[in-house]
Amino acid sequence: MTRLWLIRHGPTHARRMVGWTDLPADLSDRAALTRLSRALPQAPVVSSDLIRATATADAIQANRPRLPHAPTLREFHYGDWEDQPFDAIDSPDLRSYFDRPGAQRAPGGESWDDVAARVRATVTRLATGPDLIVVAHMGVILTLWAEARGLAPFDALAQKIDNLSLTRIDLQGAGLTAHGANHKP
């Protein structure tokens, strides 16, 4: 069994569709980062390769070992919607994408199912010890949460995942078990 300690990166303050757009995180809340780091076990840290995740991982790493960045832990790729203001892309297709997540892909991007498969394969490959700290994105965490809770993707979207929050999921064999989401130490 591996306990997955899932951390959402620091806030970007962007007011647009941000998936693979590489924006920096606001890591000015040093007290929150310290509390978060102290709540984590002595375990390897891995992050998405996007700067908001790598910088957050650097900030909570302390003396923990670091694994190479994993591009497969990136947020959803929103394709043509990427880095666009919400009002500029509001459409029936965008609403359908979030109202009925699953196989529907963003134009030129990914579906929920695509992301869930790549994330699950990544954590399964990396889960070699008793604990693994993963610094990633809301969508990444929600795909694992949905599987662990047996939720439909739409229902998983109701779970809040704040920046600099901790979600705990156990990976044992082929199964995931949820232990808590959106904890702010």
**Could you report the per-residue pLDDT of 31-86, keeping only the tens digit for each?**
999 999 999 999 999 999 999 999 999 999 999 999 999 999 999 999 999 999 99
Q: Decide if pLDDT at 174 tops 90.
A: no
Given this model, what pLDDT does residue 52 score? 98
Reported as a single tens digit per residue, the pLDDT across 122-153 is 999 999 999 999 999 999 999 999 999 999 99
Rounded to 5°, the CA angle 115-146-15 comes to: 60
Topology classification of domain 2-183: Rossmann fold (3.40.50)
Closest to 75 in 3D by CA, of 101, 45, 37, 114: 114
Mean pLDDT for the stretch of residues 107-134: 97
The crossing angle, in degrees rounded to 10, of helices 138-149 and 112-126 is 80
Please give the radius of gyration of the chain, using alpha carbons only, rounded to the nearest integer.
Answer: 16
